[in-house]
Amino acid sequence: MASQIIASASEKVKTMTGERTQKVADLTQDTKDVHDKSHRITTDYGVKQNDTDDWLKVVNEDKTGPMLLEDPFAREKIHRFDHERIPERVVHARGAGAHGKFTLFESAADVTSAGVLTDTSRETPIFVRFSTVLGSRGSADTVRDVRGFAVKFYTQEGNWDIVGNNIPVFFIQDAMKFPDVIHAGKPEPHNEIPQAQTAHNNFWDFQFMHPEATHMFFWAMSDRGIPRSYRMMQGFGVNTFTLTNDKGERHFVKFIYTPELGVHSFVWDEALKIVGQDPDFHRKDLWTAIESGAYPKWKFGIQVIPESKEHDFDFDILDATKVWPEELVPIRYIGQLELNRNVDEYFTQTEQVAFCTSHIVPGIGFSDDPLLQGRNFSYFDTQLSRLGVNWQELPINKPVCPVMNFNRDGAMRHTITKGTVNYWPNRFQAVPPASKEEGAYIDYPEKIAGIKARMRSKKFKEHKNQAELFYNSLSAPEKSHVLNALGFELDHCDDPIVYERMTTRIAEIDPQLAQDVAEMVGGKMPEQSTRQRHNKTAKGLSQLDYAPAEPTIATRMVAIIIADGYDPVAYNGIKGALTAAGALPFTISPRRNKIFAAGEDRNTGTGVVADHHLEGMRSTLFDSVFIPGGAQSIETLRKSGRAVHWVREAFGHLKAIGATSEAVQFVRDACDLPGMEFSTSGEVVDSYGVVTAAQVKPESFKEAIKMVKGAKHFI
Ligand code: HDE
């Protein structure tokens, strides 16, 4: 798989596909290609070099001797290397990004004057960066964590950034608490353990000390904390923004992206194993999908509340620990995000891209959401320390519309601005401010009166209702995953005060869950419940609500396991059926070399070259496993503990498994459950997600495909 996912560097450059948006075209001004044969290696100051491998030395007859400090080429090479690193992001350090476009299919002119949300003839270039939050840049992709989902829209009126997450709420209500929540989640200060994990004392201590975090930790402990793919998760702006229309009317708004492929997750054991087996799993998944032309897409939605209705809800609509339930505020899907081009270079694009919540365009504004207001300060500030004061001149951050002002100088200034004045107003009337008609950003004339105080509103003090709403709305399997996640996390806390009292908080949301967690981890139950439960549910909270109307297995990875003597009819049949359905079949066998079918002559036959051998890959890295029959092949697989483990592990992770003829008994032995049924003749049997057909017929493949579509990962 890895070999197919990442082609060799030169092939990669040749095969790099994707759309050329206005921003991608703009980037070409700053792009050089190492594969351009006319290049010769030079110093940074342009002098051609004929040896970049040997430091200039004073050598004796043996060709050894001291190196000369005078060698400018060697010094330049080493100096440049010494300074390659920049500070990693203090949060969201590990990420993957891609280019794409935003299209609008319904104008929102009734609520906003923003061109990007009203002009349906436009195609707005975007750059999206997905990330984990807590881990450092070299940590793994599939850890339990919130995922960042940051979008930069290069609009004709300037850059608009929605710096969102895959979970619609946040741990805290006021930005001033951000350093606390992040410190508590990051590795502990005395020994820098653990990396990229919430399963430790400080994180859970923080959760208990902050009742406002309850709603969010339920989301983080749900399947949303371990997404199967960046392409299969929702995105949320989280904070409350505002939209203002041409009439000057203001509305509150939340932004939502919902993936075309549905919302899917790993099971925890799978995610844990992939952390070691393939730390780049999500990066590769995104990269491969885009390279293969299976462009990920999300519907873009808005939830809108007129200013006059701000106080009509029993929660505060400016509180980022609350969702706006869809029953109360429906989502209006008006556009689509599509990612259609990988980056040419990671550092200059994915690493140097810099988002700011404060980047808004005319027609879009802020609200008094206290988390948002603090974020508006923080992002610009952090870019100064990461990239320096001229970070907005970096190619990936530059708007596609003109930029002109009197901000000047600073380290690494690129733009050369001609003219004799650098201030406004000036005697030349040079660079005057724009009028509203010319597209200037006009501040909303909001009347504000108040006293200075460090306070929160009454509604901000209610923290449990939506946590319960979320948990009540999950399906039974999703609820059991929350239990297991809490059980795992608290088991990793070794300070009794941390794991004992957490159960009393959980009991306020669901006493049975608390009881079950308490039993697992040694928690304490409160003597009596401290809160009256409302028992309500809402739609859109369970990820099952986002199953695509037509289940799809496009881009899903299916392992077909064979050994010499396999049944070629079954092998070719399933491979063809999977490919036709847009899935990615991979042949796995005891060796990565030619495997011969039953009856095929080793000297004259073509054989099949396996993509991987059984030891090189694991079932965790595939969505489904299929085993064609063939007496000799199954005989070999039976003797391989690894092959048996492949099947048993896939079954344990609730993956669809298919088997035909002799493979049926093999699969049966690997994952037999009391009451499980297996095919004994021509019929196709589907039991516990294991599809068996004792005889190979075309229906077997259709049934296998249907099963794969319906399996855990796909619903
Ligand atoms: Fe961030 N956050 N954040 N955050 N955040 C950063 O900015 C911050 C919050 C989010 O791919 C930093 O450029 C504060 C919520 C994403 O480059 C920093 C607060 C949400 C990314 C920062 C929050 C996010 C960041 C670090 C509390 C979801 C990665 C590097 C008020 C809506 C963007 C950087 C990328 C990154 C501050 C809370 C999402 C330090 C002060 C809520 C996706 O500025």
Instruction: Tell me the pLDDT of the chain averaged across its residues.
Output: 94
pLDDT value of residue 711: 59
pLDDT digits (tens, 9 = 90+) for 254-298: 999 999 999 999 999 999 999 999 999 999 999 999 999 999 999
Rounded to whole angstroms, the Cα distance separating 461 from 469 reads 17
- Tell the CATH superfamily of the 95-169+222-393 domain: Catalase core domain (2.40.180.10)
| Strand-pair partners of 253 | 241, 304
Question: Is residue 623 a contact partner of residue 557, using CB atoms and an 8 Å limit?
Answer: yes
- Residue 3: pLDDT above 50? no
For the cut 70, the answer to whether the pLDDT of residue 16 exceeds it is: no
Ligand 1 pocket residue status of 214, Cβ below 6 Å: no
210 lines ligand 1 (CB under 6 A): no
Segments in 533-652 forming alpha helices (H): 568-580, 631-638, 641-652
> Residue 137, SS3?
coil
**So what's the pLDDT on residue 4?**
42
405 a catalytic residue: no
Residues 558/581, Cβ–Cβ less than 8 Å: no
What kind of fold does domain 470-546 have according to CATH? Hemocyanin, N-terminal domain (1.20.1370)
Check residue 431 and give its pLDDT.
Answer: 97
Q: How far apart are CA 505 and CA 500, in angstroms?
A: 10
Which pLDDT score, from 0 to 100, does residue 70 have? 97
Pocket probe mutation, ligand 1, options 167, 254, 355, max atoms within 8 Å of Cβ: 355
Tell me: the pLDDT tens digits for 585-614? 999 999 999 999 999 999 999 999 999 999
What is the pTM assigned to this prediction? Answer: 0.95
Categorize the per-residue pLDDT at 707 as very low, low, confident or very high, splitting at 50, 70 and 90. Answer: low
- Indicate the helix (H) or strand (E) that contains 145: none
Phi, psi dihedral angles at 584 (to 5 degrees): -115, 100
Q: With cut-offs at 50, 70 and 90, classify the pLDDT of residue 708.
A: low
Could you please state the CATH topology (level 3) that the domain comprising 557-714 is classified under: Rossmann fold (3.40.50)
| Average pLDDT, integer, range 48-73 | 95
For residues 84-89, give the mean pLDDT: 97
pLDDT given for residue 528 in this prediction = 77
Q: Which of 152, 163, 165 to mutate to test the pocket of ligand 1 (most atoms within 8 A of CB)?
A: 163
pLDDT at 127 over 90: yes
Active site residue 99: no
- Reduced DSSP (H G I as helix, E B as strand, rest coil) percent helix, strand, coil of the chain, to 5: 35, 15, 50
Residue nearest to ligand 1 atom 23, measured at CA:
375
Mean pLDDT along residues 86-91: 98
pLDDT digits (tens, 9 = 90+) for 199-223: 999 999 999 999 999 999 999 999 9
User: Is 6's pLDDT higher than 70?
Assistant: no
Kindly list the domain boundaries of the chain, sorted by start residue. Answer: 2-82, 95-169+222-393, 470-546, 557-714
Check residue 97 and report its DSSP letter.
E
State which ligand 1 atom lies nearest to the alpha carbon of 148: 43
How large is the average pLDDT for residues 529-534?
87
Average of pLDDT values for 693-711? Answer: 73
Residue 335, classed as helix, strand or coil, is strand
Cβ atoms of 358 and 379 closer than 8 Å: yes
pLDDT at 169 over 90: yes
341-358 per-position pLDDT tens digit: 999 999 999 999 999 999
pLDDT attached to residue 391: 98
pLDDT of 9 strictly over 50: no
**pLDDT tens digit sequence for 302-323:** 999 999 999 999 999 999 999 9
Q: Poorest-confidence range of 405-409, 468-472, 627-631, 672-676?
A: 672-676
Q: Which of 159, 165, 376, 465 is catalytic?
A: 165
- What region, left, alpha or beta, does residue 148 occupy, with left being phi > 0 and alpha being psi -120 to 50 degrees? beta
Share of the chain above pLDDT 90, in %: 88
For the stretch 357-369, pLDDT in tens is 999 999 999 999 9
